């Protein structure tokens, strides 16, 4: 989202509303967006809740969704479902990182591995993870097993392939310079390859986090009996769509939080890679 707050070079001189917005500080613009969201929610509430222009079962107004969240909490199923989803997600994502980082390093530095393993990885990456969902149910049953599997398979390839690509984009002159100054293999890894790969690694980790959430939801709504996806299915099937929307909102919140956490870690681990936000 940071791009929204960056001032575009072209729009600086423009007049009118755009000029006014472009002139705002990042904080001012964030406030503006927050205000817009509030206005949109109010319009939604009025159109569906008060004027009843749309069937409230299909688009429950915001206040109903809040009620739905209350119902879910009161029913006591929410905590368990959320815990199950979070646990599957974290387990799967952790496993994906553990698998992807060594393989990505290997692919990036070894030509044979890249040429032989690369095409296989790209082929699998292009295939929709959802295709494996029924197989995983046959293999692991209807619990958390399929969820973890789909999270792993969704997250592992973006992390691995970004990492490998990052290593390959390392400036050859940096490598040559290191060799001229007598750097050992370990030093080249530690001081040149890894630092120059960090932006790619974190881009992969962010993509992986987004895709992991998709994988988790897919596994949970296609027949798993656990997690937030199952809550959505159950509530939608009983026409309690306000509860479905509440559950979806929580999943969105989770997805955004995870990508933000990855970005936060990136800023701590690699401060030199700080995003260029002009203010």
Partner 1 sequence: MESKEGELVSPTMPVRAVTQSRFRTKRRDGEARWKLLLLGVIGVILLVWEAVVTWLELIPAVFLPPPSAVGPAFVELVLRDDFWSAFAYSLQNLAIGVVFAVVVGVVVGLAVGWFPVLRFTVAPFLWLFYSTPKVALAPLIILILGLGNESKIALVFLLAVFPILLNTMEGALTVNRSLVNAGRVFGANGVSLGVKVLIPGTLPFSLIGIQRGAALGFTGAVLGEFLGGAGGLGHLLERATFDFKMDEAIAIVIVMVIIANLTLTLIGILRRRFAPWYDDKTTVSAG
Given a contact cutoff of 8 angstroms between Cβ atoms, the answer to whether 163 and 155 are in contact is no
Among 51, 74, 120, 268, binds partner 1 (CB under 8 A): 120
Among 84, 229, 242, 243, binds partner 1 (CB under 8 A): 229
85 binds partner 1 (CB under 8 A): no
Cα separation, 152 vs 146, in Å, equals 10
84 binds partner 1 (CB under 8 A): no
32 binds partner 1 (CB under 8 A): yes
Among 112, 182, 186, 271, binds partner 1 (CB under 8 A): 112
Give least dist CB 279 to partner 1, A: 13
Tell me whether residue 1 or residue 261 sits nearer to partner 1 (CB atom).
1
| Cα→Cα distances 223→26, 136, 210, 214, Å | 44, 11, 21, 15
Among 115, 176, 179, 190, binds partner 1 (CB under 8 A): 115
Give least dist CB 256 to partner 1, A: 6
Site string for partner 1, 239-278 (x = CB under 8 A): x-x--xx-xx--xx--xx--x------x------x-xxx-
237 binds partner 1 (CB under 8 A): yes
Q: How many CA atoms lie within 13 A of 94 on its CB side?
A: 6
Torsion of CA 129, 134, 135, 139, to 10 degrees: 120
Task: For the beta carbon of residue 96, count every other beta carbon within 10 angstroms.
Answer: 27
Cα separation, 18 vs 16, in Å, equals 6
Cα separation, 147 vs 144, in Å, equals 5
Tell me whether residue 79 or residue 134 sits nearer to partner 1 (CB atom).
134
């Amino acid at each position: 989202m940071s791009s929204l707050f960056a001032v575009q070079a072209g729009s600086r001189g423009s007049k009118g509303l755009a000029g006014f917005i472009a002139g705002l500080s990042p904080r001012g613009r964030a406030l503006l967006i927050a205000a817009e969201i509030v206005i949109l929610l109010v319009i939604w509430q009025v159109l569906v809740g008060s004027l009843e222009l749309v069937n409230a079962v299909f688009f429950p107004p915001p206040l109903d969704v809040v009620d739905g969240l209350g119902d879910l909490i009161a029913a006591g199923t929410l905590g368990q479902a959320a815990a199950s989803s979070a646990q599957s997600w974290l387990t799967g994502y952790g496993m994906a990182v553990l698998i992807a980082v060594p393989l990505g390093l290997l692919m990036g530095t070894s030509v044979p591995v890249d040429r032989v393993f690369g095409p296989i990885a790209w082929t699998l990456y292009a295939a929709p993870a959802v295709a494996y969902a029924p197989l995983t149910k046959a293999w692991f049953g209807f619990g958390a097993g399929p969820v973890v599997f789909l999270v792993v398979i969704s997250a592992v390839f973006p992390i691995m392939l970004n990492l490998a690509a990052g290593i390959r984009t390392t400036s050859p002159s940096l490598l040559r310079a290191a060799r001229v100054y007598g750097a050992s293999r370990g030093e080249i890894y530690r001081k040149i390859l890894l630092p120059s790969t960090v932006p790619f690694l974190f881009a992969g980790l962010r993509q992986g986090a987004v895709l992991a959430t998709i994988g988790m939801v897919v596994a949970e709504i296609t027949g798993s009996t656990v997690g937030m996806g199952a809550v959505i299915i159950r509530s939608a099937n009983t026409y309690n769509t306000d509860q479905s929307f509440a559950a979806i909102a929580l999943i969105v919140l989770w997805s955004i939080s995870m990508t933000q956490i990855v970005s936060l870690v990136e800023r701590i681990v690699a401060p030199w890679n700080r995003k260029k936000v002009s203010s």
